[in-house]
Amino acid sequence: MRYQRCKLLFKEDFKKIKRAKVILFGVGGVGSYCLDALYRTGVEDITVVDFDKYEITNQNRQIGSENLNQLKTEVLSKLYPKITPLTKKVTKEWVEDFDFDSFDLIIDAIDDIPAKVALAKKNYDKFISSCGGAKRVDPTKIEIDSIWKTINDPFAKKFRYELKKSGFKRDFKVVYSKELPIKCEGLGSFVGVTGSMGLALASLAIQKIIVG
C-alpha cells in the first residue's frame, strides 16, 4: 500500500493529512521539494501557483527543471497528477482578490516581498513561509521559528521590515537558515540547502495540518 509507512508513523492523524487542502506558492528550489514531500506523504489536494518557465540555470536545484522552456505548473501537474496547477503571477492585488477560505494551509515559497507580505496579512493564522536559501552550503543551520526571531538572514530581515511598515503585528512560522550568507556574485545556490529548506517547510506544513 502506497501510504502504509506514513500511516504507521502518523496513525489516526493520517486522516487529517489526506483531507488537507493546501495551496503552495512557488515551486522553485524550495517549493518543488516541499511539494514532493507533501505529495508523497498523502497530501494530494494541493494547488500550486507559479508563472515561470524552466530555465537552464534552474537545473542545479529544481524538480522538473529538465523540461526547459516549459511552464513549471504544467510539468509538475504531470509528475504529481492529483495537484491543481494555477499559472499566475502572484501580486499584492491578486492576493487581495483571491478567495482563500477553502484552504486549510497557505504555504509561501516565493521570493517577491510585497506578495509575501500580502499573503501573511490576509492569512497569518494558516500561513507558513520560507526565507532566503541562496548563498549557503550548510543544511544543518536550517531552523523553524517565528518570523520575528530569525537571525543572519537578510531576506527575512527585509520581510520583517516590510511587515512592520505595513502595520502587521501578528506572528507565523518560517523556515530560514542562520548560516551567514557566503559572499559570491549573484544568487549562488546549492540544492543541499534549498532542497532541505523545502523538506523542512513540508515538515512544518504536516505539523500544522495535524495540530491545526
pLDDT band at 126 (very low <50, low <70, confident <90, very high): very high
Whether 193 and 176 have beta carbons less than 8 Å apart is answered as: no
CATH number of the domain where residue 66 is located: 3.40.50.720
Residue 104 in this model has a pLDDT that exceeds 90: yes
What is the per-residue pLDDT across 132-189, written as a single tens digit (0 to 9) for each? 999 999 999 999 999 999 999 999 999 999 999 999 999 999 999 999 999 998 899 9
137: nearest Cα among 188, 186, 199: 188
Residue 212 in this model has a pLDDT that exceeds 80: no
Confidence (pLDDT) at 155: 97
pLDDT band at 86 (very low <50, low <70, confident <90, very high): very high
Q: Which amino acid is at 198?
A: G
Q: How many distinct structural domains can be found in the chain?
A: 1
Whether 112 and 121 have beta carbons less than 8 Å apart is answered as: no
- Residue 206: CB partners within 8 Å, gap ≥ 6? 17, 38, 41, 43
Residue 1 in this model has a pLDDT that exceeds 90: no
Query: DSSP letters of 44-92?
Result: -EEEEEE-PBP-GGGGGT-TTTTSTTSBHHHHHHHHSTTSEEEE----H
Q: Give the C-alpha separation, 174 to 146, whole Å.
A: 6
What is the per-residue pLDDT across 23-70, written as a single tens digit (0 to 9) for each? 999 999 999 999 999 999 999 999 999 999 999 999 999 999 999 999
Angle at 81 between CA 75 and CA 71, to 5 degrees: 15
Domain that holds residue 59: 4-211
